[in-house]
Amino acid sequence: MPVPAPIAPTHPDRVAGIDLGLTDLATIAYSDGTREKIAAPKHYRAAERKLARAQKKLSRAQRGSKNREKLRVEVARIHARTANLRRDHARQLISRLIRENQTISLETLRVSAMVRGRYGKSITDAGWSQFVTELEAKAATHGRTVVRADRFFPSTRLCAICNTKSGPSSTDVRQWTCTCGIHLDRDYNAATNLLVLALAPGKVERLNACGRDIRLRLAGAVSNEAGTRRNEVTS
């Protein structure tokens, strides 16, 4: 069977640092100084809420009852549908990442962290490993590079501006102020750290030479207008 010809990225040499999340599907910092948050589509969030309601009902149903069995089937059905929606959305995002970038950098999840909460939902857990597997397969086909941070790399706790490990360990904190005085957006800061990690040494210098401003903007340290907010992966 003929192998599809690799397609060159629309932004040659561009590196994307991605923080995968729960509220936003992905937060991305690019080496060209742009950034974006990609929200999960509305219909996916609606399905998630429906699933949560059904699970709650099931947990209250009497053990061994006919009603419980009915609810169990219902939960399984909604669970499968929700997982499918998430998978479709993830595939669209993967296609776009491959189409636009040469290098894609992301964290490596620790299971303990997943259990603790941020990735506590089973769909998200399964979605994560599937996302990485599919991204790596597609990257191999098109000659892109996927960089995985070391599993202990503190992408969310490290300040992208001064490199101090001053960030929150709690997952609820969306914004924080580093000891260096810079106020940061949790997800943009994490994405920026992952971006910097994947930059070739010369590129890091170039990013630094362009001034602190780029890093500040990428890490969400300045007002929102400085960043780009696209949401092309909606269906």
Supply the minimum distance, in Å, between the C-beta of residue 168 and Zn ion. 13
Nearer to Zn ion, 31 or 192 (CB): 192
Supply the minimum distance, in Å, between the C-beta of residue 201 and Zn ion. 22
Locate tokens 């971006």: which residue?
Answer: 195
Backbone angles phi, psi at 218, to 5 degrees: -60, -40
Nearer to Zn ion, 135 or 182 (CB): 182
Contact of 24 with 40, CB cutoff 8 Å: yes
Active site residues: 19, 107, 187
Coil, helix or strand at residue 72: helix
Query: Can you say whether the dihedral through the CA atoms of 3, 126, 95, 216 is positive or negative?
Result: negative
Supply the minimum distance, in Å, between the C-beta of residue 164 and Zn ion. 5
Nearer to Zn ion, 139 or 196 (CB): 196
Supply the minimum distance, in Å, between the C-beta of residue 215 and Zn ion. 10
Please give the C-alpha separations between residue 70 and each of 64, 122, 187, in angstroms, as whole numbers: 11, 21, 40
The residues that bridge with 37 in the sheet, in sequence order, are: 27
Across 31-166, the runs of DSSP E, i.e. the strands, are 35-39, 103-106, 145-148
Residues that bind Zn ion (CB under 5 A): 159, 161-162, 164, 178, 180
